[in-house]
Each structure stands twice: as structure tokens, then as C-alpha cells.
Amino acid sequence: MSARLDPFYPVVDSADWVRRLVGAGARLIQLRIKDRPEADIREQVRASLAICAAASARLVVNDYWEIAIDEGASHVHLGQEDLDAADVKAIRAAGLRIDVSTHTYDELDRALTINPDAIALGPIWPTILKQMPFAPQGLERIGEWKRSIGDRPLIAIGGLTPERARACLDAGADIVAVVNDVLGAADPEARAAEWIAATRSAA
Ligand SMILES: Cc1ncc(COP(=O)(O)OP(=O)(O)O)c(N)n1
Ligand SMILES: Cc1nc(C(=O)O)sc1CCOP(=O)(O)O
Ligand SMILES: [Mg+2]
């Protein structure tokens, strides 16, 4: 059985952000980089892993599972399209955990076929980060998902604030992921501290 993951889960796009938010107390963090050359991504993954190792924080690498394996990461996040191309056996053989995004019942069924380590459900509220063809899930669906995924942690994502994150945890989520509310804040470290206070007190 693996250790319980921290409920506060910021999602960032650079090793600089990893350094800042791990410095602010994050112990679970995702590196989600889009549209950059592979060499840059590899460098960012390597630097982020070093920062996290020094702070006993866990880095989750989004999308780039081959780089994650090469660089010695312990955890990847894959969406449904990522699953089309991923070699799940190779990821498992390298000992990495795999978390999978879901937005519909069909996606949940498919995700469960690979026996994922955690399931993400989103967007709980509307998000401005990216366009998605999914209506906001709302809080009720969190309980439904939780009842369908066994002992795996459930990650809630999309449009979250500390107050909404608390509501997600109260509804059955184990982990609450965030981009804009922290990275777009006037003082991201102070906002991260608000998230930590709101989420760890719920644990
Ligand atoms: C915690 C978490 N949940 C969902 C996602 C979305 O993954 P995906 O659907 O593959 O989309 P991209 O993030 O790759 O654009 C995530 N990254 N993290
Ligand atoms: C990357 C991502 N995936 C989602 C999903 O529903 O799968 S929502 C999302 C963006 C979350 O950003 P914010 O906290 O700024 O809304
Ligand atoms: Mg993806």
C-alpha cells in the first residue's frame, strides 16, 4: 500500500513554478508542459525531480511518460488521448504510478480497464485554462465517481478555489488540483498557503 498523497495538488508548467510552490509547502505537484521541444521538457522534468526529491515532494509528469521513465520519475498523469499512445505495460514495468483523467462514464469505464492508481474527474466547475467539450460535473458526481473507483484516490479538478476545494473534499474527493487560482494569484505563495490550510485541515 502506498503512502497517502497530499490533498493540495497544484499543476504547473515549469521547474521554476515547482521550486516556488514546493517552497511554499506543496508536497504533490504536477508538471504539465505543452508545445515545447522535447529537450526542454526533459530538462524541466529533470530539474523538477531534483527539487521534489530534496523536499520529499512527489512530482507527477503529465503526458510525457517516456521522459518520465527515462528520468526516474515515480508518477505520470495520462488523459484519454494519451492512453491511445501510451505503453501502459512499460510504464508499470518501470514502477511508475499512473493517474488517468475522466470526464464521462465511458471514459471512467475505459480508465478502470488499466487499473489506474488514481482517477481525476473534471471539470468540476468551468475552467478558463483550456477548452473542453464537457459541461461542469458539479459536486454530486464526485460521490458517484468515488463509489465507482474502489480504494483509489479521486482527484477533483477544474475551476477550483480553496472554498470549492473544501466542498470537493467534503463530497468525497481525496485530492484537489488547481492551476489558475494559485498561479494567477497576485501572491501565489500566499494563495498556496490558503489552499494548504483549507485542504490539510479537511484531511
Ligand atoms: C489532475 C489532472 N486531471 C486532469 C488532467 C487533464 O489531463 P488530459 O485530459 O490528458 O489533458 P492535458 O492536461 O494533458 O491537457 C490533468 N493534467 N491533471
Ligand atoms: C488541465 C485540466 N484538466 C481538466 C479536466 O477536466 O480534465 S480541467 C483542467 C484545468 C484546471 O485548471 P484550473 O484550476 O485553472 O481551472
Ligand atoms: Mg494529457
Q: What is the ipTM of this complex?
A: 0.99
* Residue type for position 108: L
pLDDT at 203 over 80: no
* Residue type for position 29: I
Cβ-defined contacts of 146-149 (< 8 Å, 24+) = 146/172, 146/173, 148/108, 148/112, 149/108, 149/112, 149/119
> What's the confidence (pLDDT) of residue 1?
41
CA of 51 to the centre of ligand 3 (A): 23
- Determine the Cα–Cα distance for residues 11 and 59; give it in Å rounded to an integer: 10
Which residue's C-alpha comes closest to atom 9 of ligand 2?
158
The atom of ligand 1 lying closest to the CA of 62 is 17
- Determine the Cα–Cα distance for residues 103 and 183; give it in Å rounded to an integer: 24
Task: Note whether 13 and 33 are within 8 A (CB).
Answer: yes
- Determine the Cα–Cα distance for residues 61 and 82; give it in Å rounded to an integer: 12
pLDDT digits (tens, 9 = 90+) for 126-144: 999 999 899 999 999 999 9
101 pocket-lining for ligand 2 (C-beta < 6 Å):
yes
Domain ranges within the chain, ordered by starting residue: 8-200
Q: Directed axis angle between helix 105-113 and helix 140-148, to 10°?
A: 30
DSSP state of 158: S
pLDDT at 155 over 80: yes
DSSP state of 137: -
CA of 181 to the centre of ligand 2 (A): 11
Residue 34 banded pLDDT, cuts 50, 70, 90? very high
129 pocket-lining for ligand 2 (C-beta < 6 Å):
yes
- Determine the Cα–Cα distance for residues 34 and 31; give it in Å rounded to an integer: 10
CA distances for 141 relative to 88, 102, 124, 136, angstroms: 27, 12, 9, 10
Residue 201 banded pLDDT, cuts 50, 70, 90? confident
Most ligand 2 atoms within 8 A of CB, residue of 157, 175, 181 to mutate: 157
CA of 9 to the centre of ligand 2 (A): 12
Q: Which residues contact 27 (CB under 8 A, 6 or more apart)?
A: 6, 8, 55, 56, 57, 58
103 pocket-lining for ligand 1 (C-beta < 6 Å):
no
Task: Note whether 125 and 136 are within 8 A (CB).
Answer: yes
- Determine the Cα–Cα distance for residues 29 and 178; give it in Å rounded to an integer: 10
pLDDT digits (tens, 9 = 90+) for 61-120: 999 999 999 999 999 999 999 999 999 999 999 999 999 999 999 999 999 999 999 999
Task: Give the CATH class of 8-200.
Answer: alpha beta
45 pocket-lining for ligand 2 (C-beta < 6 Å):
no
160 pocket-lining for ligand 2 (C-beta < 6 Å):
yes
The C-alpha cell at 30 is 504536477
